[in-house]
Amino acid sequence: MLKPKIHKISEIKFLPQENIILQNGIKLSSFYNNDVNALKIDFVFPAGRIFQKKAFVAAMTNAIIREGSNQHPNSAEIEEKLDYYGIFVQQRIETYWSIFSFYIPLMYLNKALPIIHEILFDPVIDQVSLDFLNEKGKSGLIKQLKTPAFLAKQHAMKMLWGENHPMGYFPKPSDFDELSRNDLNQFYNSYYKNSKFNIYVSGNFPGVFLEKLDKLFGQHPVNTTTPELSLKLKDRHIEKLIQKEDKQVQTALYWTAPCIGPRHPDYFDFKIMNTVFGDYFGSRLMSNIREDKAYTYGIYSSISPKTTGTNISIQTEVGKAYLDDTIKQIELEIDNMKTQLIDNEELELIQNYMAGELLSVFDGVFNHASVLRYLDEMNLDFSYYKDYIDRIQSITPKTIRESARKYLNTDNFHKVCIG
Protein backbone atom coordinates (compact mmCIF):
# COMPACT_ATOMS: atom_id res chain seq x y z
CA MET A 1 0.00 0.00 0.00
CA LEU A 2 1.48 3.34 -1.04
CA LYS A 3 0.97 6.62 0.70
CA PRO A 4 -1.29 8.83 -1.42
CA LYS A 5 0.23 11.85 -3.10
CA ILE A 6 -0.17 15.02 -1.08
CA HIS A 7 -1.44 18.17 -2.77
CA LYS A 8 -0.10 21.52 -1.64
CA ILE A 9 -2.37 24.38 -0.63
CA SER A 10 -1.18 27.65 -2.08
CA GLU A 11 -4.20 29.90 -1.77
CA ILE A 12 -7.15 30.54 0.48
CA LYS A 13 -10.49 31.66 -0.87
CA PHE A 14 -12.28 34.15 1.34
CA LEU A 15 -16.00 34.70 1.12
CA PRO A 16 -16.79 38.16 -0.23
CA GLN A 17 -17.17 40.74 2.47
CA GLU A 18 -19.49 43.72 2.42
CA ASN A 19 -18.76 46.69 4.63
CA ILE A 20 -21.11 49.52 5.35
CA ILE A 21 -20.86 52.46 7.69
CA LEU A 22 -24.00 53.21 9.69
CA GLN A 23 -25.25 56.78 10.03
CA ASN A 24 -23.44 57.25 13.31
CA GLY A 25 -20.13 55.97 11.98
CA ILE A 26 -20.41 52.40 13.29
CA LYS A 27 -18.75 49.85 11.02
CA LEU A 28 -20.82 46.88 9.94
CA SER A 29 -19.14 44.00 8.10
CA SER A 30 -21.10 41.13 6.63
CA PHE A 31 -20.51 37.74 5.04
CA TYR A 32 -23.40 36.18 3.19
CA ASN A 33 -24.06 32.49 2.68
CA ASN A 34 -27.53 31.03 2.15
CA ASP A 35 -26.64 27.39 2.84
CA VAL A 36 -27.71 27.80 6.42
CA ASN A 37 -31.14 28.91 7.61
CA ALA A 38 -29.61 31.01 10.30
CA LEU A 39 -27.29 33.88 11.00
CA LYS A 40 -24.96 35.18 13.62
CA ILE A 41 -24.65 38.81 14.67
CA ASP A 42 -21.63 39.82 16.75
CA PHE A 43 -21.62 43.10 18.61
CA VAL A 44 -18.08 43.86 19.59
CA PHE A 45 -17.32 46.62 22.08
CA PRO A 46 -13.84 47.85 23.03
CA ALA A 47 -14.62 46.95 26.65
CA GLY A 48 -12.30 44.09 27.48
CA ARG A 49 -10.23 43.42 30.56
CA ILE A 50 -7.45 45.77 29.49
CA PHE A 51 -9.68 48.80 30.08
CA GLN A 52 -10.62 48.04 33.67
CA LYS A 53 -9.21 49.93 36.61
CA LYS A 54 -10.69 47.55 39.18
CA ALA A 55 -10.61 43.77 39.07
CA PHE A 56 -13.60 42.09 37.38
CA VAL A 57 -15.33 45.32 36.32
CA ALA A 58 -15.13 44.38 32.65
CA ALA A 59 -16.42 40.84 33.17
CA MET A 60 -19.21 41.93 35.51
CA THR A 61 -20.37 44.72 33.21
CA ASN A 62 -20.46 42.25 30.32
CA ALA A 63 -22.53 39.88 32.46
CA ILE A 64 -24.95 42.37 33.99
CA ILE A 65 -26.04 43.71 30.60
CA ARG A 66 -28.01 40.50 30.18
CA GLU A 67 -29.69 40.75 33.60
CA GLY A 68 -32.60 43.05 32.80
CA SER A 69 -33.50 46.28 31.00
CA ASN A 70 -35.36 49.44 31.96
CA GLN A 71 -38.30 48.14 29.94
CA HIS A 72 -38.10 44.66 31.51
CA PRO A 73 -36.26 44.94 34.85
CA ASN A 74 -36.95 41.26 35.41
CA SER A 75 -34.59 39.60 32.94
CA ALA A 76 -36.78 36.49 32.90
CA GLU A 77 -39.15 38.22 30.47
CA ILE A 78 -36.34 38.83 27.98
CA GLU A 79 -34.96 35.36 28.47
CA GLU A 80 -38.38 33.83 27.81
CA LYS A 81 -38.43 35.45 24.39
CA LEU A 82 -34.87 34.48 23.51
CA ASP A 83 -35.57 30.89 24.44
CA TYR A 84 -38.93 30.79 22.67
CA TYR A 85 -37.36 31.96 19.40
CA GLY A 86 -34.44 29.55 19.77
CA ILE A 87 -31.91 32.39 19.92
CA PHE A 88 -28.59 31.57 21.52
CA VAL A 89 -26.52 34.30 23.11
CA GLN A 90 -22.82 34.01 23.83
CA GLN A 91 -21.21 36.77 25.81
CA ARG A 92 -17.61 36.96 26.83
CA ILE A 93 -14.72 39.29 27.31
CA GLU A 94 -11.28 39.04 25.85
CA THR A 95 -8.29 41.23 26.54
CA TYR A 96 -9.51 44.02 24.28
CA TRP A 97 -13.08 43.20 23.28
CA SER A 98 -16.36 42.50 24.98
CA ILE A 99 -18.35 40.33 22.61
CA PHE A 100 -22.05 39.54 22.35
CA SER A 101 -22.88 36.93 19.73
CA PHE A 102 -26.49 36.19 18.81
CA TYR A 103 -27.23 32.99 16.90
CA ILE A 104 -30.62 33.45 15.27
CA PRO A 105 -32.83 31.08 13.26
CA LEU A 106 -33.69 32.96 10.06
CA MET A 107 -37.44 32.62 10.65
CA TYR A 108 -37.19 34.65 13.88
CA LEU A 109 -34.86 37.38 12.65
CA ASN A 110 -37.43 40.17 12.88
CA LYS A 111 -38.38 39.16 16.40
CA ALA A 112 -34.73 39.11 17.44
CA LEU A 113 -33.65 42.66 16.55
CA PRO A 114 -35.66 44.70 19.07
CA ILE A 115 -34.73 42.26 21.85
CA ILE A 116 -31.04 42.60 21.01
CA HIS A 117 -31.29 46.37 20.98
CA GLU A 118 -33.01 46.37 24.33
CA ILE A 119 -30.41 44.09 25.93
CA LEU A 120 -27.40 46.04 24.70
CA PHE A 121 -28.58 49.63 24.90
CA ASP A 122 -31.15 49.77 27.66
CA PRO A 123 -29.68 47.66 30.46
CA VAL A 124 -30.52 48.33 34.07
CA ILE A 125 -27.54 47.97 36.37
CA ASP A 126 -29.05 47.13 39.74
CA GLN A 127 -27.74 45.94 43.08
CA VAL A 128 -29.73 42.71 43.17
CA SER A 129 -28.23 41.52 39.89
CA LEU A 130 -24.78 42.66 40.92
CA ASP A 131 -24.96 40.72 44.20
CA PHE A 132 -26.17 37.69 42.30
CA LEU A 133 -23.35 37.85 39.75
CA ASN A 134 -20.73 38.57 42.39
CA GLU A 135 -21.70 35.47 44.34
CA LYS A 136 -21.45 33.39 41.16
CA GLY A 137 -18.14 34.95 40.17
CA LYS A 138 -16.71 34.45 43.60
CA SER A 139 -17.67 30.82 43.80
CA GLY A 140 -16.18 30.20 40.34
CA LEU A 141 -12.94 31.91 41.33
CA ILE A 142 -12.63 29.97 44.59
CA LYS A 143 -12.84 26.80 42.53
CA GLN A 144 -10.23 28.01 40.03
CA LEU A 145 -7.84 29.03 42.78
CA LYS A 146 -7.62 25.36 43.77
CA THR A 147 -6.46 24.34 40.30
CA PRO A 148 -2.68 24.22 39.88
CA ALA A 149 -2.81 25.10 36.18
CA PHE A 150 -4.86 28.24 36.86
CA LEU A 151 -2.61 29.32 39.72
CA ALA A 152 0.51 28.79 37.65
CA LYS A 153 -0.87 30.90 34.82
CA GLN A 154 -1.96 33.72 37.11
CA HIS A 155 1.45 33.87 38.78
CA ALA A 156 3.12 33.94 35.38
CA MET A 157 0.84 36.74 34.16
CA LYS A 158 1.68 38.76 37.25
CA MET A 159 5.38 38.39 36.51
CA LEU A 160 4.85 39.31 32.87
CA TRP A 161 2.63 42.35 33.17
CA GLY A 162 3.21 43.48 36.72
CA GLU A 163 0.54 43.27 39.39
CA ASN A 164 -0.82 46.76 38.76
CA HIS A 165 -1.66 45.95 35.16
CA PRO A 166 -5.19 44.64 34.45
CA MET A 167 -3.69 41.55 32.80
CA GLY A 168 -1.17 40.92 35.57
CA TYR A 169 -3.38 41.43 38.57
CA PHE A 170 -3.67 38.35 40.77
CA PRO A 171 -7.39 37.96 41.53
CA LYS A 172 -8.78 37.23 44.97
CA PRO A 173 -12.34 36.30 46.00
CA SER A 174 -12.80 39.47 48.05
CA ASP A 175 -12.38 41.58 44.89
CA PHE A 176 -16.02 40.89 44.17
CA ASP A 177 -17.05 42.59 47.43
CA GLU A 178 -15.33 45.78 46.29
CA LEU A 179 -17.45 46.19 43.17
CA SER A 180 -20.20 48.79 43.21
CA ARG A 181 -23.06 49.59 40.86
CA ASN A 182 -21.33 52.86 40.22
CA ASP A 183 -18.18 51.10 38.94
CA LEU A 184 -20.25 49.13 36.46
CA ASN A 185 -22.33 52.13 35.42
CA GLN A 186 -19.24 54.14 34.72
CA PHE A 187 -17.67 51.32 32.77
CA TYR A 188 -20.86 50.85 30.74
CA ASN A 189 -21.07 54.55 29.96
CA SER A 190 -17.44 54.81 28.92
CA TYR A 191 -16.99 51.62 26.92
CA TYR A 192 -20.44 50.55 25.67
CA LYS A 193 -23.04 53.28 25.53
CA ASN A 194 -21.47 55.72 23.13
CA SER A 195 -18.37 53.78 22.25
CA LYS A 196 -17.25 52.92 18.77
CA PHE A 197 -18.34 49.32 18.58
CA ASN A 198 -18.32 47.02 15.54
CA ILE A 199 -21.03 44.79 14.12
CA TYR A 200 -20.32 41.56 12.21
CA VAL A 201 -23.16 39.76 10.45
CA SER A 202 -22.59 36.30 9.00
CA GLY A 203 -24.89 33.71 7.47
CA ASN A 204 -28.22 33.97 5.71
CA PHE A 205 -30.14 37.25 5.83
CA PRO A 206 -32.48 39.19 3.50
CA GLY A 207 -31.18 42.16 1.51
CA VAL A 208 -33.16 44.76 3.44
CA PHE A 209 -31.79 43.49 6.71
CA LEU A 210 -28.71 45.72 6.80
CA GLU A 211 -30.92 48.80 6.40
CA LYS A 212 -32.96 47.64 9.37
CA LEU A 213 -29.80 47.37 11.40
CA ASP A 214 -28.92 50.93 10.44
CA LYS A 215 -32.31 52.14 11.64
CA LEU A 216 -31.88 50.43 15.00
CA PHE A 217 -28.20 50.76 15.73
CA GLY A 218 -27.15 53.69 13.54
CA GLN A 219 -29.11 56.35 15.39
CA HIS A 220 -27.57 56.99 18.77
CA PRO A 221 -24.50 59.20 18.99
CA VAL A 222 -21.16 57.49 19.02
CA ASN A 223 -17.85 58.76 20.25
CA THR A 224 -15.70 58.08 17.20
CA THR A 225 -12.35 58.09 18.95
CA THR A 226 -10.90 54.74 19.94
CA PRO A 227 -10.07 54.49 23.63
CA GLU A 228 -6.42 55.19 24.34
CA LEU A 229 -4.28 52.53 25.87
CA SER A 230 -1.13 53.53 27.59
CA LEU A 231 -0.56 50.10 29.05
CA LYS A 232 2.30 48.17 27.53
CA LEU A 233 4.34 45.17 28.49
CA LYS A 234 7.19 46.39 30.62
CA ASP A 235 10.75 45.20 30.53
CA ARG A 236 10.88 43.39 33.79
CA HIS A 237 13.49 41.31 35.47
CA ILE A 238 12.98 37.60 35.09
CA GLU A 239 11.21 35.91 37.98
CA LYS A 240 10.90 32.34 39.16
CA LEU A 241 8.42 30.68 41.49
CA ILE A 242 8.25 27.14 42.75
CA GLN A 243 5.34 26.35 45.03
CA LYS A 244 5.04 22.83 46.40
CA GLU A 245 1.59 21.39 47.10
CA ASP A 246 1.85 18.02 48.76
CA LYS A 247 -1.69 17.00 47.93
CA GLN A 248 -1.27 17.41 44.20
CA VAL A 249 -0.20 14.42 42.14
CA GLN A 250 1.01 16.60 39.28
CA THR A 251 2.95 19.81 38.85
CA ALA A 252 1.64 22.61 36.64
CA LEU A 253 4.41 24.36 34.73
CA TYR A 254 3.91 27.75 33.09
CA TRP A 255 6.67 29.75 31.42
CA THR A 256 6.00 33.03 29.71
CA ALA A 257 7.98 35.77 27.97
CA PRO A 258 7.25 38.88 25.92
CA CYS A 259 7.71 38.41 22.17
CA ILE A 260 7.16 40.07 18.80
CA GLY A 261 3.56 40.53 17.58
CA PRO A 262 1.66 40.16 14.28
CA ARG A 263 2.72 43.55 12.93
CA HIS A 264 6.43 42.80 13.26
CA PRO A 265 8.16 41.86 9.96
CA ASP A 266 9.65 38.71 11.54
CA TYR A 267 6.33 37.54 13.01
CA PHE A 268 5.44 34.86 10.43
CA ASP A 269 8.88 33.27 10.76
CA PHE A 270 8.55 33.33 14.53
CA LYS A 271 5.05 31.83 14.38
CA ILE A 272 6.21 29.03 12.07
CA MET A 273 9.27 28.38 14.25
CA ASN A 274 7.08 28.19 17.36
CA THR A 275 4.70 25.76 15.66
CA VAL A 276 7.63 23.42 14.95
CA PHE A 277 8.77 23.85 18.53
CA GLY A 278 5.55 23.41 20.46
CA ASP A 279 2.31 24.50 18.86
CA TYR A 280 0.82 21.38 17.33
CA PHE A 281 0.39 17.73 18.14
CA GLY A 282 3.53 16.65 16.28
CA SER A 283 5.71 19.43 17.71
CA ARG A 284 9.18 18.88 19.18
CA LEU A 285 7.88 19.31 22.73
CA MET A 286 4.98 16.87 22.24
CA SER A 287 7.07 14.27 20.41
CA ASN A 288 9.70 14.27 23.10
CA ILE A 289 7.84 14.84 26.36
CA ARG A 290 4.49 13.18 25.64
CA GLU A 291 5.06 10.63 22.90
CA ASP A 292 8.59 9.53 23.77
CA LYS A 293 8.91 10.07 27.54
CA ALA A 294 5.20 9.92 28.41
CA TYR A 295 5.60 12.45 31.22
CA THR A 296 2.42 14.32 30.36
CA TYR A 297 -0.90 14.29 28.58
CA GLY A 298 0.02 17.48 26.73
CA ILE A 299 2.66 20.22 26.45
CA TYR A 300 2.35 23.32 24.30
CA SER A 301 4.12 26.51 23.41
CA SER A 302 1.69 29.15 22.19
CA ILE A 303 1.75 32.80 21.15
CA SER A 304 -0.97 35.17 22.41
CA PRO A 305 -1.11 38.33 20.32
CA LYS A 306 -2.61 41.37 21.98
CA THR A 307 -2.73 45.01 20.97
CA THR A 308 -0.78 45.92 24.04
CA GLY A 309 1.93 43.34 23.70
CA THR A 310 2.35 39.75 22.65
CA ASN A 311 3.65 36.91 24.75
CA ILE A 312 4.77 33.34 24.27
CA SER A 313 3.92 30.68 26.87
CA ILE A 314 5.01 27.12 27.45
CA GLN A 315 2.60 25.12 29.59
CA THR A 316 2.09 21.59 30.79
CA GLU A 317 1.06 19.43 33.73
CA VAL A 318 3.45 16.59 34.49
CA GLY A 319 3.73 13.82 37.04
CA LYS A 320 5.69 15.21 40.01
CA ALA A 321 8.60 12.82 39.59
CA TYR A 322 9.11 13.95 35.98
CA LEU A 323 9.35 17.69 36.61
CA ASP A 324 13.14 18.04 36.66
CA ASP A 325 13.66 16.07 33.52
CA THR A 326 10.76 17.86 31.79
CA ILE A 327 12.50 21.19 32.37
CA LYS A 328 15.75 19.72 31.09
CA GLN A 329 14.00 18.45 27.96
CA ILE A 330 12.31 21.81 27.28
CA GLU A 331 15.70 23.50 27.46
CA LEU A 332 17.19 20.85 25.25
CA GLU A 333 14.45 21.33 22.62
CA ILE A 334 14.98 25.10 22.69
CA ASP A 335 18.66 24.47 22.17
CA ASN A 336 18.00 22.12 19.25
CA MET A 337 15.86 24.75 17.55
CA LYS A 338 18.79 27.18 17.74
CA THR A 339 21.58 24.85 16.72
CA GLN A 340 20.12 22.41 14.19
CA LEU A 341 18.41 22.86 10.85
CA ILE A 342 15.09 21.07 10.46
CA ASP A 343 15.16 18.47 7.67
CA ASN A 344 13.09 18.63 4.50
CA GLU A 345 10.56 16.10 5.68
CA GLU A 346 9.72 18.12 8.79
CA LEU A 347 9.74 21.35 6.79
CA GLU A 348 7.25 19.99 4.27
CA LEU A 349 5.12 18.62 7.08
CA ILE A 350 4.96 21.93 8.89
CA GLN A 351 4.18 23.80 5.67
CA ASN A 352 1.29 21.54 4.78
CA TYR A 353 0.02 21.35 8.33
CA MET A 354 -0.03 25.12 8.76
CA ALA A 355 -1.63 25.70 5.36
CA GLY A 356 -4.35 23.17 6.23
CA GLU A 357 -4.87 24.83 9.58
CA LEU A 358 -5.32 28.19 7.84
CA LEU A 359 -7.94 26.69 5.53
CA SER A 360 -9.88 25.45 8.52
CA VAL A 361 -9.84 28.92 10.07
CA PHE A 362 -11.91 29.98 7.06
CA ASP A 363 -14.27 27.00 7.16
CA GLY A 364 -17.79 28.30 7.24
CA VAL A 365 -19.39 31.69 7.17
CA PHE A 366 -19.47 32.20 10.95
CA ASN A 367 -15.70 31.75 11.22
CA HIS A 368 -15.08 34.50 8.66
CA ALA A 369 -16.62 37.00 11.05
CA SER A 370 -14.37 35.85 13.89
CA VAL A 371 -11.27 36.16 11.73
CA LEU A 372 -12.21 39.67 10.66
CA ARG A 373 -12.71 40.68 14.28
CA TYR A 374 -9.16 39.58 15.07
CA LEU A 375 -7.81 41.49 12.06
CA ASP A 376 -9.70 44.61 13.14
CA GLU A 377 -8.21 44.37 16.62
CA MET A 378 -4.71 44.06 15.22
CA ASN A 379 -5.36 46.75 12.62
CA LEU A 380 -4.70 44.32 9.75
CA ASP A 381 -6.71 43.14 6.75
CA PHE A 382 -7.20 39.91 4.81
CA SER A 383 -3.93 40.45 2.91
CA TYR A 384 -2.32 39.38 6.19
CA TYR A 385 -3.47 35.81 5.48
CA LYS A 386 -2.30 35.96 1.85
CA ASP A 387 1.15 37.01 3.05
CA TYR A 388 1.01 34.38 5.77
CA ILE A 389 0.37 31.49 3.39
CA ASP A 390 3.06 32.76 1.00
CA ARG A 391 5.50 32.84 3.87
CA ILE A 392 4.53 29.34 5.02
CA GLN A 393 5.23 28.00 1.54
CA SER A 394 8.53 29.83 1.08
CA ILE A 395 10.20 29.57 4.48
CA THR A 396 13.58 27.79 4.74
CA PRO A 397 15.21 25.74 7.53
CA LYS A 398 17.80 28.49 7.94
CA THR A 399 15.17 31.16 8.57
CA ILE A 400 13.54 28.95 11.18
CA ARG A 401 16.85 28.46 12.98
CA GLU A 402 17.54 32.18 12.70
CA SER A 403 14.20 32.98 14.27
CA ALA A 404 14.85 30.62 17.18
CA ARG A 405 18.28 32.18 17.74
CA LYS A 406 16.81 35.63 17.74
CA TYR A 407 13.56 35.13 19.61
CA LEU A 408 13.50 31.88 21.61
CA ASN A 409 15.65 32.17 24.69
CA THR A 410 15.32 30.11 27.86
CA ASP A 411 16.60 33.03 29.91
CA ASN A 412 13.76 35.32 28.78
CA PHE A 413 11.02 33.26 30.38
CA HIS A 414 9.38 33.91 33.70
CA LYS A 415 9.05 30.44 35.20
CA VAL A 416 6.37 29.05 37.48
CA CYS A 417 5.88 25.53 38.84
CA ILE A 418 3.00 24.70 41.16
CA GLY A 419 2.03 21.40 42.70
Which residues 213-232 are close enough to bind another protein by CB under 8 A? none
What's the CA angle centered on 175, arms 178 and 42, to 5 degrees?
Answer: 95
**Binding test (CB under 8 A) with another protein, winner from 256, 288, 296, 326:** 296
- Which residues from 319-338 bind another protein, rule CB under 8 A? 319
Order across the sheet with 198-203: list the strands. Answer: 17-21, 27-32, 198-203, 38-45, 98-105, 88-93
Which of 23, 37, 224, 394 is close enough to bind another protein by CB under 8 A?
A: 37
- Selected from 353, 374, 382, 384, the binder of another protein by CB under 8 A is 353
How far is C-alpha 195 from the geometric centre of its chain's CA atoms? 21
Rounded to whole angstroms, how far apart are CA atoms 30 and 16?
9
C-beta of 95: minimal distance to another protein in Å?
26
Q: Does 190 bind another protein (CB under 8 A)?
A: no
Q: Is 38 near another protein (CB under 8 A)? A: yes
Closest distance to another protein from the beta carbon of 317 (Å): 5
147 binds another protein (CB under 8 A): yes
Verify binding: residue 162, another protein, rule CB under 8 A: no
Residues of this chain, 368-387, that bind another protein according to CB under 8 A: none
Cα-Cα-Cα-Cα dihedral of 237, 257, 311, 417, to 10°? -110
Q: Which is nearer to another protein, 248 or 399 (CB)?
A: 248
Least Å from the CB of residue 244 to another protein: 15
From the list 30, 61, 75, 256, which residue makes contact with another protein (rule: CB under 8 A)?
Answer: 75
The residue within the footprint of another protein, chosen from 343, 348, 387, 390 (CB under 8 A), is 348
Q: Is 246 in the site for another protein (CB under 8 A)?
A: no
Which residue from 255, 366, 388, 413 is in contact with another protein, where contact means CB under 8 A? Answer: 366
Own/partner pairs for 192-195, CB < 8 Å, 24+ apart? 192/45, 192/47, 192/61, 192/65, 192/98, 192/120, 193/121, 194/220, 194/221, 194/222, 194/223, 195/45, 195/46, 195/47, 195/222, 195/223, 195/227
398 lines the binding site for another protein (CB under 8 A): no
Residue 244 interacting with another protein (CB under 8 A):
no
Q: Which of 124, 216, 349, 380 binds another protein (CB under 8 A)?
A: 349
Touching another protein, residues 49-68 (CB under 8 A): 66
Closer to another protein at the Cβ: 292 or 381?
292
SS (H, E, C) 160-214: HHCCCCCCCCCCCHHHHHHCCHHHHHHHHHHHHHCCCCEEEEEECCCCCHHHHHH
What phi and psi, each to the nearest 5 degrees, are found at residue 137? Answer: -65, -40
By CB under 8 A, is residue 7 in contact with another protein?
A: yes
Which alpha helices (DSSP H) does 202-343 contain, by range? 209-217, 267-278, 284-285, 323-339
